Amino acid sequence: MRDTHREYALNTVLALGLLLVPLWALWADEPFTITMFTRIAILALAGLGLNLVLGLGGMVSFGHAVFFGLGGYCAGILAQHAFNGAPILGLPGTNQMLIIWPVAMLVSGLLAAVIGVLSLRTEGVFFIMITLAFAQMVYYFAISWPAYGGEDGLPIYVRNQFPGLNTMRPLHLFLICWGVLMLALGLFAMVRASRFGAALMAIRQNPDRVAAVGIEPFGIKLAAFILSGMITGLAGALMADLSRFTSPSMMAWTMSGELIIIIILGGTGRLFGPVAGAAILVGFEVTFGGLTEHWKLWLGLVLLGAVLFARGGLIGLIAGRERLG
């Protein structure tokens, strides 16, 4: 699959725009704008994780918020143990992002393996409902488990640290998130161009043919699902640090819906689709949220219109429909 020149140009604009606007905002002394763009970068990262299974693999996971929330809880729980000095599972807590991130990815990947093994036995509507139900199971567990705040959530009193940067400064935190997002986009492009990516996309189109040429679809799908959960979990850890708070609502089913919306609005399977989608969603919320308290009504109408009439998302509208070989 080759990106068209227009899509390539659009991607460059998105990547640079995402970086330049916060730099301008620092100069113009608009910290709110920096935070808003940090949110866009984090949500784009979470969406990118989902895009791997939904966009490339055609697996509609309606429970990806569970990894987002789990990543958030990893950051929150490790920070709390570092704060109060109590060990967790015999190990000390930590406030170092470079330790928290691998932990968040490992834990999310393990959960993705369990959910994946069970739910990838099914497909279609069953898969949608089952991923939703498993996410809901963890959500209710987080609500009723009192040790880490239960329904009230878990605050992070001091943002976790990154060597050489001051994470309490909005621009520094933004640059961390932007950097992680760019690395993840590079990884996504590599995966898409690899033999593994080719197999994954072929499974979306016709699993029986893939099986007939000697590739077992289940293993490929499971690997993609685990990688996807790890990336979305990493985004959750970043989000917990941005809002200095983690709560069950991060894994609510509406969050799973928002992640799907991000991909669809941006363009399913496109490299920068989640970036465009996250920018649209956050921009919509900030713009219309200030005008009317009923902005979700308009979001619903826009989404409905996009599904019924503009398939291919924003990037599809601008760069033209993708040719799938």
Partner 1 sequence: MTLALIFEQLLNGLQFGLMLFLMSAGLTLVFGVMGLINLAHGSLYMIGAFFCAVAAGATGNFWLGLAAGMAAAAAAGALIEMLVIRRLYDRDHLDQVLATFALILILSEATKMVFGPFPLYLNAPPILSGTVNLGLVDYPLYRLALIGFGLLVALGLWLLIARTRLGIRIRAGENDREMIAALGVNIRALYTVVFALGAALAGMAGALVGAVQAVQVGMGEPVLILAFVVIVIGGIGSIRGAMVGALLVGVIDTMGRFLLPRAFAVFLDASQASGIGAALASMLIYLLMALVLVLRPKGLFPLHA
Using CB under 8 A, list all residues that contact partner 1: 54, 60, 62, 118-119, 121-122, 124-126, 128-130, 132-134, 136-137, 140-141, 143-147, 253, 257, 260-261, 264, 294, 296-297, 299-301, 303-304, 307-308, 311
Q: CA angle, corner 105, sides to 158 and 114, nearest 5? A: 130
CB of 220 vs partner 1, minimal distance in Å: 19
Q: Detail the DSSP E strand segments found in 83-215.
A: 154-155
CB of 136 vs partner 1, minimal distance in Å: 5
Are 315 and 272 in contact, with CB atoms under 8 Å apart? yes
Are 229 and 112 in contact, with CB atoms under 8 Å apart? yes
Give whichever of 50 and 75 is closer to partner 1, judged by the CB atom. Answer: 50
Question: Which tokens is 204 given?
Answer: 């979306």
CB of 244 vs partner 1, minimal distance in Å: 25
CB of 73 vs partner 1, minimal distance in Å: 14
Give whichever of 70 and 177 is closer to partner 1, judged by the CB atom. Answer: 70
Are 74 and 99 in contact, with CB atoms under 8 Å apart? no
Report how far apart, in Å, the C-alpha atoms of 275 and of each of 124, 182, 284 are. Answer: 26, 10, 14
CB of 260 vs partner 1, minimal distance in Å: 7
Question: Which tokens is 250 given?
Answer: 């991060």
Are 72 and 142 in contact, with CB atoms under 8 Å apart? no
Residue holding tokens 């590599």? 190
SS3 assignment, position 86: coil
Give whichever of 31 and 289 is closer to partner 1, judged by the CB atom. Answer: 289
CA distance linking residue 80 with residue 88, whole number of Å: 10
Give whichever of 31 and 150 is closer to partner 1, judged by the CB atom. Answer: 150
Torsion of CA 40, 59, 248, 285, to 10 degrees: 30
CB of 241 vs partner 1, minimal distance in Å: 26
Give whichever of 168 and 307 is closer to partner 1, judged by the CB atom. Answer: 307
Residue 278's CB is within 10 A of a number of other CB atoms, namely 30
Q: Which residues touch 280 (CB under 8 Å, ≥6 apart)?
A: 265, 266, 314
CB of 184 vs partner 1, minimal distance in Å: 23
Are 34 and 167 in contact, with CB atoms under 8 Å apart? no
Number of residues that make up the chain: 325
CB of 153 vs partner 1, minimal distance in Å: 16
